[in-house]
Amino acid sequence: MKRIRVVDLLKTPDFIGTDVVVKGWVRTRRGNKHVQFVQLSDGSTIKNIQIVFDMAKFSDEELKPVTTGSAICVEGRLVESQGKGQTCEVQADTLTVYGTADPEAYPLQKKGHTLEFLREIAHLRPRTNTFGAVLRVRSTLAFAIHKFFNERGFQYLHTPLITASDCEGAGAMFQVTTLDLNNLPKTDDGKVDYTQDFFGKTTALTVSGQLEGELGATALGQIYTFGPTFRAENSNTPRHLSEFWMIEPEMAFYDITDNMDLAEEFVKYCINYALDHSMDDIKFLADMYDKDLIDRLRFVVDNDFVRLSYGEGVKILEVSGKKFEFPVHWGTDLQSEHERYLVEEHFKKPVILTDYPKEIKAFYMKQNEDGKTVRAMDVLFPHIGEIIGGSEREENYDKLLARIEELNIPMKDMWWYLDTRRFGTVPHSGFGLGFERLVLFVTGMTNIRDVIPFPRTPGKAEF
Ligand code: 4AD
Ligand code: MG
């Protein structure tokens, strides 16, 4: 007989009254000498299926290895359930134990572990209800992203993970080398001789696929990337990872307003898709961690984002009367506390801030007429702060080159990028959505380490 997944079993009334095979991991077992109840999860849904063992048919010995965490297969009849909390249950006829889980040793034997503890056993935490729910929502969101762009004629472009250029210019890159670190080849002036390295030059893991994305957009019209990016900044915050996933659409012929429109439509689409397709998981997370979660998600989907300039935003912060840890005035980079004040306290809505001072933004952003600001846009979300960063790009060759020189970015690394401005340059724009920040928002989790299966943060890369 063919195995039926729990998610299908629970939503298909036709299975009631038939013989079924279910396979999964035991969540709990309880009962008495006449009857034993097992809650079985196969990961396909937040819901368990209840298995009922009539102890007239099974011996205590047979049920003994059926403990929390063990993996079993049960054949039996699916019937409507008498008990509350479930619609149907399986009355077991046969039991096969695939793998036991010694109750003395299994770390998830008991319920109610803290998220901090579960981070220490990240290899097992997907077996918990919380991480099952988060990982399913994450998967749903990833699918929504591809669907959104596919429906709008965007091409999915695969940009390299190993690169020789620093897109964001922040210098927080993980070097990639095959040189023997204990025996480095040196040049005459005592520096490391990277011509002997694998690629014949210094290379690193990418911080962003944008520069290559621009090459794609100025050929295919509109592209998006969706892949891992790496940042070696030593920031231990609940919103930073050393390895995170980013979605970066890049569109020829889009100005900053088109870019903002797309960004707003895009995040709303993803949130809506999750509400439509992952409601069981979102409800579970809302009940467990954050009663306002669903209202907050609906609110973001149903309301226009506020759009204003960085300058206007800074004025609001300056007259707010609020004591910030980091003082704020025109020219300072906004901290999460400033972003969240604007979003959560002042506007009570997502905000798109534009036209930032050029000094605090990357070299590729389009320079405004005022000579001071660039056509940047950051989308700021409640509970998260910055969820998207993007801009219209500087498409003028001379202005871009001047900025590259001003910032002392080595030109030899950038010639291929500048070629987009030498040959058939066009106005174009794009942005980057931090995938884990979106998953944070949709799941209501508060620490970014809890929305990626295997988080990488400073000092942590065990599993
Ligand atoms: O603002 P960022 O640095 O922008 C870029 O990388 C541009 N190249 C994007 C583009 O225009 N194509 O990063 C974009 C987003 C941020 O808004 C944030 O959501 C997320 O990526 N992000 C991080 N997420 C987790 N951990 C980190 N260390 C992150 N750094 C940025
Ligand atoms: Mg940014």
Q: What is the pLDDT of residue 82?
A: 81
What are the beta bridge partners of residue 379? 352, 388
Confidence class of residue 411 from pLDDT cuts 50, 70 and 90? confident
pLDDT tens digits, 36-71: 999 999 999 999 999 999 999 999 999 999 999 999
pLDDT tens digits, 241-275: 999 999 999 999 999 999 999 999 999 999 999 99
- Arithmetic mean of pLDDT over the chain: 96
Residue 206: is its pLDDT beyond 80?
A: yes
Q: What angle do CA 433, 434, 439 make, to 5 degrees?
A: 110
pLDDT tens digits, 339-371: 999 999 999 999 999 999 999 999 999 999 999
* Number of the ligand 1 atom closest to the C-alpha atom of 249: 12
DSSP reduced 3-state for 379 = strand
Q: Whose CA is nearest to atom 21 of ligand 1?
A: 434
- State in Å: Cα 176 to ligand 2 middle: 24
The torsion region of residue 294 among left (phi > 0), alpha (psi -120 to 50) and beta comes to alpha
Confidence class of residue 226 from pLDDT cuts 50, 70 and 90? very high
Residue where the block lists tokens 């134990």:
97
pLDDT tens digits, 103-113: 999 999 988 89
* Number of the ligand 1 atom closest to the C-alpha atom of 387: 19
Q: What is the pLDDT of residue 406?
A: 94
- State in Å: Cα 433 to ligand 1 middle: 6
Ligand 1, pocket-test mutation among 244, 310, 351, 360, most atoms within 8 A of CB: 244
Burial of 143 (0-12, 13-18, 19+ CB in 10 A): middle
- State in Å: Cα 386 to ligand 2 middle: 7
Q: Whose CA is nearest to atom 6 of ligand 1?
A: 208
Domain topology for 6-110: OB fold (Dihydrolipoamide Acetyltransferase, E2P) (2.40.50)
**Sign, CA torsion 169/171/172/178:** positive
- State in Å: Cα 383 to ligand 2 middle: 16
Please compute the mean of the pLDDT values over residues 128-134 and round it to a whole number: 97
Supply the Cα-derived Rg of the chain in whole angstroms: 27
Q: What is the pLDDT of residue 45?
A: 98
Confidence class of residue 430 from pLDDT cuts 50, 70 and 90? very high
Ligand nearest to the CA of 387: 1
Ligand nearest to the CA of 223: 1
* Number of the ligand 1 atom closest to the C-alpha atom of 448: 25
- State in Å: Cα 459 to ligand 2 middle: 24
Q: Express as a percent the part of the chain with pLDDT over 70.
A: 100
Q: Whose CA is nearest to atom 4 of ligand 1?
A: 389
Q: What is the pLDDT of residue 419?
A: 97
Q: Provide residues with CB under 6 Å of ligand 1.
A: 167-168, 208, 210, 231, 240-241, 244, 246, 248, 386-390, 430-432, 434, 436-437
Ligand nearest to the CA of 434: 1
Domain boundaries, the chain: 6-110, 125-172+207-450
Residue 171: is its pLDDT beyond 80?
A: no
- State in Å: Cα 360 to ligand 1 middle: 14
pTM, two decimal places = 0.97
Q: CB of 137 within 8 A of CB of 274?
A: yes
* Number of the ligand 1 atom closest to the C-alpha atom of 207: 6
- State in Å: Cα 237 to ligand 2 middle: 15
Q: Whose CA is nearest to atom 30 of ligand 1?
A: 240
Q: What is the pLDDT of residue 265?
A: 98
Q: What is the pLDDT of residue 83?
A: 76
- State in Å: Cα 437 to ligand 1 middle: 10
User: Which string of DSSP letters, residue by residue, matches 6-60?
Assistant: HHHHHH-GGGTTSEEEEEEEEEEEEE-SSEEEEEEE-SSSS--EEEEEETTTS-H
Strands 428-434, 49-54: pairing kind:
unpaired
Pick one of 3.90.1300.10, 3.30.930.10, 3.40.50.150, 3.40.718.10 as the CATH number of 125-172+207-450.
Answer: 3.30.930.10
Residue 141: is its pLDDT beyond 90?
A: yes
* Number of the ligand 1 atom closest to the C-alpha atom of 437: 19
Confidence class of residue 421 from pLDDT cuts 50, 70 and 90? very high
Q: What is the pLDDT of residue 368?
A: 98
Residue 202: is its pLDDT beyond 80?
A: yes
Q: Whose CA is nearest to atom 26 of ligand 1?
A: 240
Strands 35-41, 243-252: pairing kind:
unpaired
Ligand nearest to the CA of 441: 1
Confidence class of residue 413 from pLDDT cuts 50, 70 and 90? confident
